[in-house]
Amino acid sequence: MMSTLKTLAALFVANVRTYAIDKKRLYVMSLAMCLQNTMFFVLWVIFFNHVGSIRGWDLVDVTRMFGMVASVCGLSLFFFDGLRTIPYKVSSGAIDFYITKPRHPLPAIMLSSSSPASLGDVFYAPTLYLLIQGVLGIPVFTFSMVPLFLLLTVLSTILFMSTMCLLFSLSFWLKGNPRFSGQLFEMLIIFSCNVLHGQPWGVKAVVFTLIPAGFISYLPIELLRHFDWVTFSEIVLATIFYAWLAIFIFNKGLRRYVRAKA
Amino acid sequence: MNTRHNLSVLMTAMIMGLRDGWSEKLVLLGTLMVYGVIIMLYAGVMRMIPPADIAPLGLTQSQMIWYIATTEFILFAAPSWGFKDIQNEINTEQVHLDIIRPFSPALLRIAFWYGEAIVRFCVLFPFYILTATYFAEAFEPSLLDLLGIIACAPLSLFMALVMYYAVGTSCLWVVQSEPAYWVVHKGIFLLGAMIWPIVFYPDWLGAISWFTPFPAILAVCGKWVLGSSALELGAAFAHQVVWAVLILYALMKFERIVLRRIQGEGAA
Amino acid sequence: MISGTVEVEKLTRRFKVRVNDDAKRGWFSKKIYKELDAVAQLSFSIDQGEKVAFIGPNGAGKSTTLKMLSGLLMPCEGTARVCGLVPWDQTRELARHIGLVFGQKSHLWMNLPVQDSFDLLARIYDLDEQAYRRQLSRLIELFSLSEFLGQYAKNLSLGQRMRCDIAAALLHKPQVLFLDEPTIGLDVTAKSLLRDHLNKLADQFDTTILLTSHDTEDIEKICQRVILIDHGQKLIDTSLMELQRRYAQSKILRLATEEKEPDYDHPHVVVEQQGDHMLVLKVDVTQVPIEVVVADCLNRFKLHDIGIEGLPLDEIIKMLYEQRVCYL
C-alpha cells in the first residue's frame, strides 16, 4: 500500500516538475483558461442585465455555480488529466505499458498527465468571487458557507472525475475513438456549467443519470442556498455510486481489451 | 497557376473532405447528440425567461430558441478540432511536406475542412429544424428566412475555418494552440452573439462586436430568425462579405508570415 | 558560377540552444542559451542525375542542410541554388522541381485511399491528366503499388507506405529527389525492395538523388558519391569507390584451412576470429601488402578456400569519425 502511494506521489511530482521546465506554457494556458471562463461568464452577466432571475436563480447563483464548476474541473484535470488520455492509450496500444505493471492500471493512468490550464481554473473561482463580492459588492458568499463550499467541491470533484473515467472508458467499446469520447466530455462540461434549476423533466432525467452534472453543479448550489440533509445525502450517495460505477466500467473495458488482444 | 488550377485543387480537396467527414459516422452522431443537448438546455433557460423581460427588446421566447438553434447549427457545422491537426503537424514537422508544394497549404486545408463542414451542415440541417421547432413549439422562420440562412452559411463557415487554421498555427508563437483556441472560441460565443442576440448586449459591447469579424460568423445567420427588416439583413450580409474578403486577404498575408516563421525557426 | 543542379556555397545555419534545460533547475532559474552551428560553411555541387549520399552522425547537420535545400529553413549565411532557384525565397516555384521524402512523414492523407492522395497531388502540381496517368502507371509498375491504391493509407505497413510516399513525391517528375532516412523502421526485405526501386527510378528518370541515411547499405546500394559531414562541416566529398579504396586501411582475409586450429602471428595482422578449420584476419594494408600475407598463409596452411574483403563501409565511416580529420 505504502509503495503504491509512493509511486503515485512520484508520478504526480513528475507531472508538476514538467511545469517547472516549461513555465511559459503553464502561465499562458492558465491565463487563457481564466480569460475564456470570464468571457463565458460575461454572457450570463449580459443575460441577467435584462432578466432579473429565472425561477429564483439569479447572477449570484450562477456566479457560485461558475466558481464551483471551475474549481471542480481544475482540480480534476490538475491531478487526474490522465483520464482524458484513455481513448488515445487504448487506440495506440499505449495502455499495454500500464497493464503489464503489477499494480492496477487505473491510478497510474489517472496520474499520467496533468493539465497546465487547470491551474487557471482552480484560481478562477476565488478570483471571480473576490471580484464579484469585493469589487462589485454583490454578496456571493458568507463566511459560514465556506466550509460547506469546500466539502461540496471535494465531493463534486470525485463525482466529476468518476464521470470522466466512465465516459473515457467507453473508448474500450468505441475502438478508442477519441473524438467521440471528447464530445461526451464536452456534454458533461456543458451540462455542468448551465442553469439546471427549473429545467423540464427531460433535462433532469439526463443530468441525474447518464451525465450526472446535476450532482456536480446544480444540487451543491441548491445546498448553498438552503441546506438540507436529504439533498446532502443524495450527493454523497451519488458520489459513492458513480465512483464505483466508473471503476466497474473501466475494469470491464480493460478485460474486454485484454481478451481482444489475447 | 491560374483560376482553373486553383479551383480544381480546391474542389478535389473539398471532395476529399466530404468523404472524410462522411466516414466519421460516430463523430456525426456525437455532434447531433451534443447539439441536441445544448438546444434542450438553452431552450429550458429561454422558457424560464419572463416574457415581459424580453418584450421591450422585441423578442419572444420562441425567437430566442430559434436564434440559438441557428447560431449553434452554424458553429457545429464548422469542424473546430482541425486546429489540433495543424498544431500536431507543426510539432511533428509534417507541415514541411505541405509547404513544399506549389499551392497554398492554408487554402488546401481549409478546402478540405470545408468538405467536412458541408457534410456536417447537411446532416445537421434537418436536425436543426426539427430540434428548434420541437423546443420552440413553433416554426419561427419563413421559407425565405431559411434560404437566407443557407445563403449566409458558406461565408460563415469559411470565416470560422480560417480562424481555426490561424489558431492551429498559433503554436509557432505561443507554445500550444489551445490557449488561442479557447479565446477565439469564446470570442465567437461572446462577440459573435451565439447565445443571446446582440440587442441583449449593452450598447457599447454591441458596437464593439460589430467591429470584429465574429458577428459575421454567427449573428448574421441568427438575424434571419429574429424577424429583422430587409435593411438590417442587407447590412448584416454586407458586413459578412466585407469581413470575408478581409479575412481572405489576411489569410494570404498570414500564410507568408507562417512560412517565414517556420523557415526561420525550423518548425518544432 | 552555377553549374550543377544543386549548388551550395558556404551555407551556415545556427540554432539557439538552451543549456540549462532540466527540471532540477527549478522555477526561478534564468534561461541560458548558446548558439550552435548546425551547418557551418558548407559548400558542394551536385550534377544532374548524380546519386549522392549525405552522411554523418546524429546532429551532424544532414537534415538541416536538406531542409535548407528544399526551402524549409533559411540559412544564416551562404547561398544555395537548386535547379537554379534559391530554395527559401522561391519555395513554391522550387516545389515543382523537387521531391521530398522523409522517413517519418507522409505525403498521403491517412484517412483516405492512396489513390485519392495521388489524385489530389496531381491537381496540386497541375499535371496534365494524360501525363499524370502515364506517370502513375509507370510508378505503379516500378514500386509494385497496384494492390495498395484502393487501401486507406493508415492501413498500410511502413514499407508499403514508404513506397507509396516515394511514388507520391515523384508524380510531378522532379529533377531532384531529397530522401531523408527513407528506410528508417523498415525490415530487411522492405529495405532491399525499396533500394531496388530507387535504383530503377534513377535509371529511368535520370533523377538527381540526395540521400541521408544511417544505414550504410542504403548508401552502398544506391549512391555513387559520398559527402561526409560532422558538426556541420564537410569532412569528405568523394566517390564511394574512392572512399572505400583510399580510406580502407585494412582488409579482411577469410581462410578455410585443413588444419583444425589454425593460428597466425604478424605484427600488422590482427586475428579477428579463430575456430575449427577457419581463421579471419584483419590486415593493415598500409604496413604490409595483402599479397604478402596471402603468400605467407599459402605457405603456412593447407587452404581449402580464401576470401579477401574490403572493410565494411560503416567501419570506414566509424574510423573516419574517430580520427575526425579534415581530409580535403
Interface check A17 vs C, CB under 8 A: yes
SS3 of residue C302 by DSSP: coil
**What pLDDT does C328 receive?**
42
Interface check A18 vs C, CB under 8 A: yes
Q: What is the DSSP letter of A154?
A: H
Q: Which residues of A touch B37 (CB under 8 A)?
A: 187, 190-191, 206
Average of pLDDT values for C259-275?
Answer: 88
User: Side chain identity at B250, as an amino acid letter?
Assistant: A
Strands C208-212 and C51-55: what pairing? parallel
Separation of alpha carbons B208 and B192, rounded Å = 11
- Say what angle helices C158-170 and C188-205 make with each other, to 10 degrees: 10
A18 to each of A84, A113, A208, B21, C258, how far by Cα in Å? 18, 10, 37, 36, 65
**What pLDDT does B266 receive?**
58
Average of pLDDT values for C56-69?
Answer: 88
List the C6-18 sheet strands across, edge first.
C33-46, C6-18, C77-82
Q: Which residues of A touch C26 (CB under 8 A)?
A: 20
One DSSP character per residue, B15-28 reads HHHHHHHHH-HHHH
pLDDT single digits (tens) C103-121: 778 899 888 899 999 999 9
Q: Would you say A174 and B26 are in contact if contact means Cβ atoms under 8 Å apart?
A: yes
Q: Please, which pLDDT band fits residue C326 given cuts at 50, 70 and 90?
A: very low
User: What is chain C's mean pLDDT, rounded?
Assistant: 85
Separation of alpha carbons C24 and C34, rounded Å = 19
SS3 of residue C265 by DSSP: coil
pLDDT single digits (tens) C161-186: 888 998 898 899 899 999 988 887 77
Query: Closest partner residue to C73 among B1, B12, B263, by Cβ?
Result: B263
| Residue in the structure block whose three cell numbers are 451542415 | B121
Q: Please, which pLDDT band fits residue C219 given cuts at 50, 70 and 90?
A: confident
Separation of alpha carbons A106 and A257, rounded Å = 14
Separation of alpha carbons C54 and C214, rounded Å = 10
**Residue A181, class by beta-carbon neighbours within 10 Å (0-12 exposed, 13-18 middle, 19+ buried)?**
buried
Separation of alpha carbons C171 and C133, rounded Å = 9
The alpha carbon of residue C51 is apart from the nearest alpha carbon of chain B, in Å, by 21
- C236 has which bridge partners? C228
Q: Which residues of B touch A187 (CB under 8 A)?
A: 33-34, 37
One DSSP character per residue, A196-239 reads -TT--HHHHHHHTTTSTHIIIIIHHHHHHHS--HHHHHHHHHHH
Give the number of other Cβ atoms within 10 Å of residue B55's Cβ: 10
pTM (2 d.p.): 0.85
pLDDT single digits (tens) A18-62: 777 778 888 999 999 999 999 999 999 999 988 888 888 888 899
> Which are the contacts of C107, defined by CB distance < 8 A and separation ≥ 6?
B97, C101, C117, C121, C165, C168, C169
- Straight-line distance from the first to the last Cα atom of chain A, in angstroms, rounded to the nearest whole number: 30
Contact A25 B176 (CB under 8 A): yes
Contact A20 C22 (CB under 8 A): no
> Which are the contacts of C165, defined by CB distance < 8 A and separation ≥ 6?
C101, C106, C107, C108
- Straight-line distance from the first to the last Cα atom of chain B, in angstroms, rounded to the nearest whole number: 30
Q: Which residues of B touch C176 (CB under 8 A)?
A: none
Average of pLDDT values for A109-122?
Answer: 90
**What pLDDT does B71 receive?**
96
Q: Please, which pLDDT band fits residue C29 given cuts at 50, 70 and 90?
A: low
Separation of alpha carbons B257 and B252, rounded Å = 9
**What pLDDT does C327 receive?**
46
Q: Which residues of B touch A27 (CB under 8 A)?
A: none
Q: Would you say C142 and C170 are in contact if contact means Cβ atoms under 8 Å apart?
A: no
Separation of alpha carbons B168 and B153, rounded Å = 22
One DSSP character per residue, C72-116 reads SS--SEEEEEETTB-TTTSHHHHHTTEEEEETT--SS-TTSBHHH
Q: Which has the closest alpha carbon to A30: A130, A103, A127? A: A127
Contact B266 C71 (CB under 8 A): no
Interface check A24 vs C, CB under 8 A: no
Q: Please, which pLDDT band fits residue A238 given cuts at 50, 70 and 90?
A: very high
Q: What is the mean pLDDT of each run of 10 residues along chain B (268 residues)?
A: 85 93 87 92 92 90 95 94 92 89 94 96 96 91 93 96 96 91 94 93 93 95 91 93 96 93 72
> Which are the contacts of A22, defined by CB distance < 8 A and separation ≥ 6?
A116, B175
SS3 of residue C152 by DSSP: strand
Separation of alpha carbons B53 and B121, rounded Å = 33
Contact B1 C102 (CB under 8 A): no
Strands C176-180 and C51-55: what pairing? unpaired
Separation of alpha carbons B221 and B215, rounded Å = 9
C-alpha cell at B217: 460568423
pLDDT single digits (tens) A129-179: 888 888 878 888 888 888 999 999 999 999 999 999 999 999 898 865 677
C141 to each of A182, B157, C22, C195, how far by Cα in Å? 43, 42, 51, 15
Q: Which residues of C173-195 are buried (b: 16+ CB within 10 A; e: fewer)?
A: ebbbbbbbbbbbebeeebbebbb
Q: Would you say B14 and A164 are in contact if contact means Cβ atoms under 8 Å apart?
A: no
C-alpha cell at B216: 459575421
Beta strands in C181-321 (DSSP E): 208-212, 225-230, 233-239, 250-257, 269-275, 278-284, 303-310
**What pLDDT does C8 receive?**
93
User: How is chain B split among helix, strand and coil, in percent rounded to 5?
Assistant: 80, 0, 20
Q: What is the DSSP letter of C175?
A: S
Average of pLDDT values for A187-194?
Answer: 89
pLDDT single digits (tens) C189-200: 778 877 887 888
Q: Which residues of A touch B67 (CB under 8 A)?
A: none
**What pLDDT does C28 receive?**
61
Binding-site residues on chain C for chain A (CB distance < 8 A): 21-23, 25-27
Of the two residues A9 and C30, the one the predictor is more confident about is A9
Give the number of other Cβ atoms within 10 Å of residue A164's Cβ: 25
List the C208-212 sheet strands across, edge first.
C98-102, C176-180, C208-212, C51-55, C225-230, C233-239
Q: Would you say C165 and C107 are in contact if contact means Cβ atoms under 8 Å apart?
A: yes
Q: Which residues of A touch C21 (CB under 8 A)?
A: 21
Q: A-B interface: how many C-beta pairs under 8 angstroms?
A: 115
Q: Please, which pLDDT band fits residue C24 given cuts at 50, 70 and 90?
A: low
The alpha carbon of residue A23 is apart from the nearest alpha carbon of chain C, in Å, by 8
> Closest chain B residue to A46 measured between Cα atoms?
B201
Separation of alpha carbons A203 and B43, rounded Å = 10
Q: Which residues of A32-67 are buried (b: 16+ CB within 10 A; e: fewer)?
A: bbbbbbbbbbebbebbbebbebbeebebbbbbbbbb
Query: Closest partner residue to C105 among B13, B93, B103, by Cβ?
Result: B93
SS3 of residue B226 by DSSP: coil
